[in-house]
């Protein structure tokens, strides 16, 4: 059993993003001291859906779900690993990229969400290298086409077999009338610094580039004959292990399966509850504070393992967001709420800050960073409601700043004896969780006047009521009990009545103010254009390239340039 569609309580089929190594169909993971080897050996009959075979190590979403899981487990379960080898288990082929039949038969929404998740997985490899010290070496033993080369591009170092046939290519434009949808164009010119004219030639030919030209054009780092390949790999592994900043002392922690209960209208995790109102097209994600005090020592934290509250909540929230993205396509809005003892949430933030140099704490922080980034690029309206009894403190307060709109209730609510809402900032709001533009959410929020970030920093640890939070610019509106229900109701109804297409464009543009980075280009530029191209008849029409691919008939294009 691998990653397979399952059934919800209401009978609907859904794709599950949870897996573990014993269930992998497409990847093999082996260990040798400080080195792990991820071998891609795709089961051609193991696709998520019927109607295509995953030949030549081509992949669908299920293949990438396994890869994402493997990379995550390397970070948490194997602190000793400093170098990760990416290899193919098939002769004379590395990876043929995303499966064309899958793309041709998939819905538009599935294609876009597939590209988005695959982008996030590739970014995860680079994040592991930069922030966990697990360096990636990719060995291309044959054809690396399209998404296969894009996987190689995510590595730190690419070794290409020099056997006269091994080559790298991005043939999407000439073959499929689409773009390399998982960051290929951006990584070629921004990461590998390939000259624009060379990149133009490379991206418009089907056969790709091999041998010395691939090295000269910076498409790979080196070519090696098959007779010397294993010796060269051993040398590179030794070099990269020596350079690694990985400080993984002691044993890793096991990422045990999440406890989940699916109902017809939601999901119940340990600390995250998802309630879906299909009539209103909203999903409310309520995060619960820890039910026990924060551990006093790192040893106690490590002993808790995957049940350590910040890690468990991050995993649950991550799974919930992915589920809603791909399985609940008509949901227009994600509403974030929280409930519980604020002092406990603050204590967990404090213990994380105090032990930030420990390898496990480092991994938890970077995981939260990636979860928040996943929320940032989710194509749903995000709204956060700060109500009495809520616990938006530090890390959880980032959900306020990630929202497109936030509302905070002033004082108590009639008939509710819970304590008035307060927001508490911690050190976590001022550095550990940058967005894809390289800025914190508060820096992005106060782009016009950085002194407002400094003003907020002066309030770290202070319990801010609704009026104080609004004055500091931390929430959109502070409302009293008289106006709360009506204002929130009107907003929710109005927002869900708008065109989802225009909202997706609006929100994606407004969320990422400020500088552009390679990562923001991949999501804000490349993904947007790929989204558009995937709807064009030249790609997906009856006579388009995706439909005609492999038939022997040439695609018929509308040659109008727009």
Q: What is the pLDDT of residue 450?
A: 95
The 8-class DSSP code of residue 271 comes to S
**Who wins on pLDDT, 140 or 416?**
140
- Domains along the chain with CATH numbers: 27-240 (3.90.226.10), 261-507 (3.90.226.10)
Q: Which residue has the tokens 């690029």?
A: 377
> Does residue 506 have a pLDDT over 50?
yes
Taking the C-alpha atoms of residue 56 and residue 97, their distance in angstroms, rounded to an integer, is 9
Q: Nearest Cα to 157, choosing from 215, 208, 211, 117? A: 215
Taking the C-alpha atoms of residue 110 and residue 102, their distance in angstroms, rounded to an integer, is 10
Assign 7 a pLDDT band (cuts: 50, 70, 90).
low
Q: Which helix (H) or strand (E) segment is 275 a member of?
A: strand 272-277
Assign 6 a pLDDT band (cuts: 50, 70, 90).
low
Q: Nearest Cα to 16, choosing from 58, 50, 65, 54? A: 65
Q: Enter the pTM of the model.
A: 0.96
Phi, psi of 541 (to 5 degrees): -70, 170
> Does residue 559 have a pLDDT over 80?
yes
Cβ-Cβ contacts under 8 Å for 454 (sequence gap 6 or more): none
In whole angstroms, what separates CA 280 from the centre of its chain?
Answer: 27
Average pLDDT over residues 485-510: 93
Cβ-Cβ contacts under 8 Å for 294 (sequence gap 6 or more): 309, 344, 347, 348, 350, 351
Q: What is the pLDDT of residue 532?
A: 85
Q: Nearest Cα to 132, choosing from 361, 341, 328? A: 361
Task: Please tell me the number of Cα atoms within 13 Å of 167 on its side-chain side.
Answer: 15
Instruction: Tell me how far CA of residue 62 lies from CA of 256, 482, 561, in angstroms.
Output: 20, 49, 35
**Who wins on pLDDT, 315 or 512?**
315
Q: What is the pLDDT of residue 371?
A: 98
Q: What is the pLDDT of residue 74?
A: 98
Q: What is the pLDDT of residue 174?
A: 94
Taking the C-alpha atoms of residue 80 and residue 149, their distance in angstroms, rounded to an integer, is 28
Taking the C-alpha atoms of residue 422 and residue 414, their distance in angstroms, rounded to an integer, is 17
Q: If you average pLDDT over each of 65-69, 103-107, 501-505, which comes out highest?
A: 65-69
The 8-class DSSP code of residue 278 comes to T
Number of CB atoms found within 10 A of residue 303's CB: 12
Average pLDDT over residues 534-557: 92
One DSSP character per residue, 309-367 reads HHHHHHHHHHHHHHHHHHH-TT--EEEEEEES-HHHHHHHHHHHHHTTTSHHHHHHHHH
Instruction: Work out whether the CA dihedral 63, 86, 191, 127 comes out positive or negative.
Output: positive
Average pLDDT over residues 485-513: 92
Number of CB atoms found within 10 A of residue 525's CB: 13
Taking the C-alpha atoms of residue 520 and residue 452, their distance in angstroms, rounded to an integer, is 24
Range with lowest mean pLDDT among 5-9, 257-261, 384-388, 403-407: 5-9
> Does residue 526 have a pLDDT over 80?
no
Assign 492 a pLDDT band (cuts: 50, 70, 90).
very high
Q: What is the pLDDT of residue 149?
A: 98
> In the chain, what are the helix, strand and coil shares in percent, each to the nearest 5?
45, 15, 40
Sheet harboring 35-40: ordered strands across? 27-32, 35-40, 83-88, 135-140, 157-161, 222-224
Assign 562 a pLDDT band (cuts: 50, 70, 90).
confident
Assign 1 a pLDDT band (cuts: 50, 70, 90).
very low
Cα angle, residue 256 at apex, residues 250 and 258 outer, rounded to 5°: 145
Q: What is the pLDDT of residue 11?
A: 62
Taking the C-alpha atoms of residue 390 and residue 359, their distance in angstroms, rounded to an integer, is 30
Output the average pLDDT for the chain: 94
Average pLDDT over residues 398-406: 98
SS (H, E, C) 205-240: CCCCECHHHHHHCCCCCEEECHHHHHHHHHHHHHHH
Q: Nearest Cα to 111, choosing from 99, 123, 125? A: 99
**Who wins on pLDDT, 509 or 189?**
189
Taking the C-alpha atoms of residue 385 and residue 448, their distance in angstroms, rounded to an integer, is 25
Contact between residue 408 and residue 477 where contact means Cβ atoms under 8 Å apart: yes
Both structure tokens of 506: 């609006």
Q: What is the pLDDT of residue 531?
A: 80
Number of CB atoms found within 10 A of residue 381's CB: 25
Number of CB atoms found within 10 A of residue 49's CB: 17
Taking the C-alpha atoms of residue 496 and residue 331, their distance in angstroms, rounded to an integer, is 9
Number of CB atoms found within 10 A of residue 321's CB: 22
pLDDT in tens, 403-454: 999 999 999 988 888 999 999 999 999 999 999 999 999 999 999 999 999 9
Both structure tokens of 134: 């697990």
Beta strands in 354-511 (DSSP E): 381-386, 405-409, 423-424, 463-464, 477-479
Cβ-Cβ contacts under 8 Å for 535 (sequence gap 6 or more): 108
Q: What is the pLDDT of residue 2?
A: 46
Contact between residue 59 and residue 97 where contact means Cβ atoms under 8 Å apart: yes
pLDDT in tens, 124-138: 999 999 999 999 999
> Does residue 505 have a pLDDT over 90?
no
């Amino acid at each position: 059993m691998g990653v397979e569609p399952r059934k919800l309580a209401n009978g609907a089929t859904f794709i599950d993003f949870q897996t573990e190594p014993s269930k992998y169909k497409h990847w093999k993971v082996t260990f040798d001291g400080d080195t792990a080897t991820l071998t891609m050996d795709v089961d051609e009959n193991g696709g998520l859906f019927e109607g295509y075979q995953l030949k030549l190590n081509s992949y669908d979403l299920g293949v990438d779900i396994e890869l994402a899981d493997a990379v995550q487990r390397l970070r948490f379960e194997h602190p000793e690993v400093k170098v990760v080898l990416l290899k193919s288990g098939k002769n004379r082929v590395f990876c043929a990229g995303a499966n064309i039949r899958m793309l041709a038969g998939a819905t538009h929404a599935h294609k876009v969400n597939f590209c988005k998740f695959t982008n996030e997985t590739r970014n995860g490899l680079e994040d592991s290298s930069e922030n966990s010290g697990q360096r990636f070496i990719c060995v291309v033993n044959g054809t690396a086409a399209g998404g296969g080369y894009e996987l190689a591009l995510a590595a730190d170092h690419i070794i290409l077999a020099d056997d006269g046939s091994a080559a790298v290519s991005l043939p999407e434009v000439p073959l499929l009338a689409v773009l390399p949808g998982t960051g290929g164009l951006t990584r070629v010119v921004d990461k590998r610094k390939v000259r624009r004219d060379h990149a133009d030639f490379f991206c418009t030919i089907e056969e790709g580039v091999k041998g010395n030209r691939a090295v000269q054009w910076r498409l790979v780092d080196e070519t090696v004959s098959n007779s010397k390949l294993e010796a060269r790999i051993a040398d590179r592994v030794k070099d990269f292990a020596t350079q690694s900043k990985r400080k993984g002392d002691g044993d890793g922690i096991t990422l045990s399966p999440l406890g989940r209960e699916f109902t017809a209208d939601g999901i119940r995790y340990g600390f995250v509850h998802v309630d879906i109102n299909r009539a209103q097209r909203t999903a409310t994600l309520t995060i619960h504070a820890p039910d026990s005090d924060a551990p006093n020592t790192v040893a106690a934290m490590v002993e808790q393992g995957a049940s350590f509250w910040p890690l468990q909540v991050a995993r649950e929230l991550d799974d919930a967001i992915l589920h809603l993205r791909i399985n609940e396509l008509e949901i227009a809005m994600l509403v974030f709420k929280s409930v519980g003892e604020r002092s406990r949430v603050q204590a967990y933030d404090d213990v994380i800050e105090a032990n930030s140099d420990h390898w496990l704490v480092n991994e938890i922080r970077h995981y939260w960073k990636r979860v928040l980034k996943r929320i940032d690029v989710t194509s749903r309206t995000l709204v956060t409601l700060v109500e009495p009894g809520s616990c938006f403190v530090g890390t959880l307060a980032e959900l306020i700043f990630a929202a497109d709109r936030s509302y905070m209730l002033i004082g108590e609510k009639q008939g509710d004896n819970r304590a008035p809402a307060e927001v508490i900032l911690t050190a976590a709001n001022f550095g550990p969780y940058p967005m894809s533009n390289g800025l914190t959410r508060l820096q992005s929020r106060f782009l016009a006047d950085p002194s407002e970030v400094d003003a907020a920093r002066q309030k770290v640890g202070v319990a801010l009521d609704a009026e104080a939070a609004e004055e500091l610019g931390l929430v959109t509106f502070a409302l009293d009990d008289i106006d709360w229900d009506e204002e929130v109701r009107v907003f929710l109804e109005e927002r869900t009545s708008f065109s989802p297409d225009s909202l997706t464009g609006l929100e994606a543009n407004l969320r990422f103010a400020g500088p552009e980075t390679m990562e923001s280009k991949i999501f804000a530029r490349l993904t947007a254009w790929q989204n558009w191209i995937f709807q064009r008849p030249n790609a997906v029409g009856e006579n388009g390239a995706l439909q005609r691919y492999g038939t022997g008939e040439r695609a018929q294009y509308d040659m109008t340039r727009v």
